[in-house]
A = this chain, B = another copy of it.
Amino acid sequence: MSRDTRVVQFPLQSGQCQSCDRASVCLGQGLSDTETHELLNISAVPKLLKRGQELFSEGHAFDYLYAVRSGAFKTYKITPEGEEQIIDFHLPGDLIGFNAVARGYYTCHAVSLDTASVCAIRFRDLATLCTGSIRLQETMLKRISALMAREEDFLVTIGTKSATQRLASFLVTLSNYYLNRGFSSTNFTLPMSRTDIASYLSLAVETVSRTLTRLQHDKVIAVKRNSVEIKNHERLHALAGFRLTGITPVADMLH
């Protein structure tokens, strides 16, 4: 398996998980060789998407889980007023679609935020495979459980924090994600629009904009279009109030 971290995983063909640098964060942790092999057989149905392309939409029959290989996605629901409510953003290594298992159809829309690629994993096959592998089965449960835990942490953020704190939390979470993936945690891009961020954090676009400018003015960050530089990680962390979401070392510190 190539450990090359550059984006060379194309051309995407069936059975090509080996060439995917996301394999370790996908579903394959701690599996035996045969288990991994079987997983590869069913999981590598690749799909390439352009910016703004729909991966699936709300209400459509649920067949596939998607593992993000590259790019970024947003999932959202449409409110009765016809507006998007962003549920979450999804970066490489994330799995999308678990929330569809219960109802049998997707409960939200998933759209790529830029050029992106995913592995489509037929859920039926995956479930069948789980029967033979306790480890895989447990991995699945853990993945969903982690999503739930993350969602609940996020609920606290939305429920108790001010606009500034939400933005700060958001940036710290992103920063941690990039850190964990071996990228720069101080200089990175926001793949999503201000409007998306606003919806996600339950704020008005104007508030997001204003808050970002203020953070920049206070030398905590530097924003230029979609690129962010964190200039004062301490302050940002403090502003966020340190109970943060995601797979963060912070969260693992327990409390």
Interface size class of A (residues with CB under 8 A): 35 or more
Q: Which residues of B contact A147 (CB under 8 A)?
A: 148
Residue with the highest number of chain B CB atoms closer than 10 Å, among A83, A242, A243: A243
Q: Which residue of B lies closest to A132 (CB)?
A: B131
CB distance from A229 to the nearest CB of B (A): 26
Interface pairs A-B: 10 shortest CB-CB: A101-B145, A102-B146, A102-B145, A159-B202, A99-B148, A99-B149, A102-B142, A85-B156, A144-B144, A107-B149
Q: Does A158 count as interface, using CB distance less than 8 angstroms?
A: yes
CB distance from A67 to the nearest CB of B (A): 17
Asked whether B158 lies within 8 Å of A101 as measured between CB atoms, the reply is: no
Q: Does A160 count as interface, using CB distance less than 8 angstroms?
A: yes
Q: Does A79 count as interface, using CB distance less than 8 angstroms?
A: yes
By a beta-carbon cutoff of 8 Å, the part of chain A in contact with chain B is 58-59, 77, 79-81, 83, 85, 87, 98-103, 105, 107-108, 127-128, 130-131, 134, 137-138, 140-149, 151-156, 158-160, 199, 202, 241-243, 251-252, 254-255
Q: In the bound complex, how far is the Cα of B98 from the Cα of A61, in angstroms?
A: 25
Q: In the bound complex, how far is the Cα of B121 from the Cα of A159, in angstroms?
A: 31
Asked whether A243 lies within 8 Å of B79 as measured between CB atoms, the reply is: yes
Asked whether B85 lies within 8 Å of A149 as measured between CB atoms, the reply is: no
Q: In the bound complex, how far is the Cα of B252 from the Cα of A105, in angstroms?
A: 10
Asked whether B140 lies within 8 Å of A101 as measured between CB atoms, the reply is: no
Asked whether A148 lies within 8 Å of B149 as measured between CB atoms, the reply is: no
Q: Which residues of B contact A154 (CB under 8 A)?
A: 155
CB distance from A141 to the nearest CB of B (A): 5
CB distance from A224 to the nearest CB of B (A): 28
Q: In the bound complex, how far is the Cα of B255 from the Cα of A105, in angstroms?
A: 12
16 examples of A-B residue contacts, CB within 8 angstroms: A77-B243, A79-B241, A80-B243, A81-B242, A85-B159, A98-B144, A99-B149, A99-B152, A101-B144, A103-B252, A127-B141, A144-B144, A148-B151, A151-B152, A155-B155, A159-B199
